[in-house]
Amino acid sequence: MRKGLFFIVILFLAPLILIPGCAASTPTGTSSTSTTVTSVTRPKLENIRLVGTIGPLSIPLAYMSQQNSLASISQKTSLAIWANPTQLQAIISGGQGDFVALPTNSAAIFYNRGVPLQLLDCSIWNILYLITPDSGIRSFGDLKGKRIVVPYQGAIPDAMFRSVCQRQGINPDKDIELSYAADPIQASQLLLAGQEKYVLLSEPSATSVILKGKNSGLSFIRALKKSCSSADPFGCFNVKTTV
């Protein structure tokens, strides 16, 4: 599945950024004909902390950090990467980031628990694929009876894959066997070791496993690949309905 993985950038409320500069007031008793206004320059923040995950969304964040793109308001722009839900929870619960990239379902869970998050942006990119050495997979019907490895049970990849299966008339609980991996790294290792043949991966894990397979004499492809459009985010899996 290509067009499907949802990420949002969450803004932790930062009052210091919102405090406006104030002009100097005219002292009581001075002449109104000669008023001097002194502009007040807000001091720069010491550090704006960006937090991303392993994937394309962190590329612009890394650029902002390296180029210090926020130099006009902050002395430093730092970037931290979370690799699993446990790290993400520690970062958000501990208030260790000012701008954090995470899946929408995770953000909703944190928000409903009372974490003061604010939605800044939501991106949909072509980054989710079914990787396999089987070139015979040309439709969802070809997946019947197959075991598909999906990272992060209950997260966005799992939810999206199940949704697309249902739209294609496939019951994900009966027609195929879903096997869950702890993360994309484990899923990739199962594919490279030949223990599994069908794995759902997002970028950059998808490209990484294809290149590693090539170096080891293995040939992996992106199955069910099809051009997508904004009107049909499930188009990569040949879904004919729109969302």
Q: Show the domain range for 162.
A: 128-237
**pLDDT tens digits, one per residue of 103-128:** 887 888 888 998 888 888 887 666 78
In the chain, % helix, strand, coil (3-state, to 5) comes to 30, 25, 45
Query: Is 21 among the domain residues?
Result: no
Indicate if 49 and 120 belong to the same structural domain: yes
Query: Greatest CA separation found in the chain?
Result: 88
User: Do 227 and 144 fall into the same domain?
Assistant: yes
* Residue 32 placed within a domain: no
Residue with the bigger pLDDT between 22 and 11: it is: 11
The answer on 212 and 111 residing in a single domain is: no
pLDDT tens-digit profile of 53-87? 877 788 889 999 999 899 999 999 999 999 888 88
Instruction: Decide which of 98, 126, 154 is a domain's last residue.
Output: 126
In tens, the pLDDT along 137-184 reads 988 899 999 999 999 888 888 988 998 899 889 999 999 999 999 988
Residue 150 or 236, more confident: 150
Quickly state the pLDDT bin for 37 (edges 50, 70, 90). low
Query: Considering the domain boundaries, does residue 38 fall inside one?
Result: no
Angle at 232 between CA 226 and CA 237, to 5 degrees: 35
Helix (H) or strand (E) holding 107: helix 104-112
Within 13 Å of residue 57, how many CA atoms lie on the same side as its CB?
A: 27
Give the Cα separation of 55 and 203 in Å (integer): 6
Q: Which of 126, 187, 147 is nearest to 1 (CA)?
A: 126
User: Does pLDDT of 235 surpass 50?
Assistant: no
In a domain, 185, yes or no: yes
Cα–Cα dist 96/106, whole Å: 16
DSSP letter string, 3-51: EEEEEEEEEE--HHHHPPP-PPPPPTTS-TTS------PPPPBS-EEEE
Which amino acid makes up residue 35? T
Q: Which residues pair with 202 in a beta bridge?
A: 128
pTM, to two decimals: 0.63
- What CATH number is attached to the domain comprising 179? 3.40.190.10
- Quick one: 32 exposed, middle or buried, by C-beta within 10 A (0-12, 13-18, 19+)? exposed
226 shares its domain with 114: no
- Between 86-95, 157-166, 195-204, 231-240, the lowest mean confidence (pLDDT) is in 231-240
Q: What are phi and psi of 160, to 5 degrees?
A: -65, -45
Residue at a domain's end among 94, 126, 158: 126
In a 10 Å sphere around its CB, with 0-12 CB exposed, 13-18 middle and 19+ buried, how is residue 51 labelled?
buried
Judge whether 20 lies within some domain: no
